[in-house]
Structure 1
Amino acid sequence: MALGDDSSPASYIHKVQHLIEKCMTFGMSMEECMEALAKRADVQPVVTSTVWKELEKENKEFFDQYKQWRLAKGSAGSS
């Protein structure tokens, strides 16, 4: 495990969740977030993916809206 010395599984997952939330403020997809956290925070992509998917299950409505926002943002930028 990376991300500091308090390496209980729960605190590690909480830190990964916080980093995912940061990625989302930049409008990143799950894949972009996985790549960024692997490079910058030494988080295995499978960990990021697993935490992301669990967050999606718990917050389906939010993630649906997030995906719509990303699509709208992408199409607005390409015109």
Structure 2
Amino acid sequence: MALGDSSAAAYIHMVQHLIERCLLFGMSMEECIDTLSKHANIGPIITSTVWKELEKENKEFFKSYGQWRETRH
């Protein structure tokens, strides 16, 4: 693995961690994208891509999360 690959993986892991923090606050994908863009200087396309990959890997969680968000509002 090249050095650039390692730093890219670390960056993606950091974005994933920040998304997980957004989930703890009950944010939607749009709210998370906006928050990370403003406060962590992470491009919307990066956050969106990582979020969508997390959704693919954790379908049941995101299904439950969406239902929870609907009942919360």
Is this a same-fold pair by TM over 0.5? yes
Residue matched to 1:31: 30
Would you say 1:49 and 2:48 are equivalent positions?
Answer: yes
Question: Residues of 1 paired with 2:38 and 2:49: CA distance?
Answer: 17
Q: CA deviation at 1:70?
A: 0.2
Aligned-pair identity in percent equals 66
Give me the TM-score of the superposition, normalised by structure 2. Answer: 0.91
Q: CA deviation at 1:64?
A: 0.2
Measure, in 2, the Cα distance between the counterparts of 1:42 and 1:28: 18
Question: What count of residue pairs does the alignment treat as equivalent?
Answer: 68
* 2:15 alignment partner AA: V
SS in structure 2 of the partner of residue 27 of structure 1? coil
Structure 2: gaps spanning 5 or more residues: 1-5
- Runs (4+) of structure 1 exceeding 3 A deviation are none
1:8 aligns with 2:7: yes
Q: Deviations over 1:33-74 (max 9, x none)?
A: 000000000000000000000000000000000000000001
How far, CA to CA, are the matches of 2:10 and 2:60 in structure 1? Answer: 25
Q: Residue type of the partner of 1:19?
A: L
More helix by share: 2
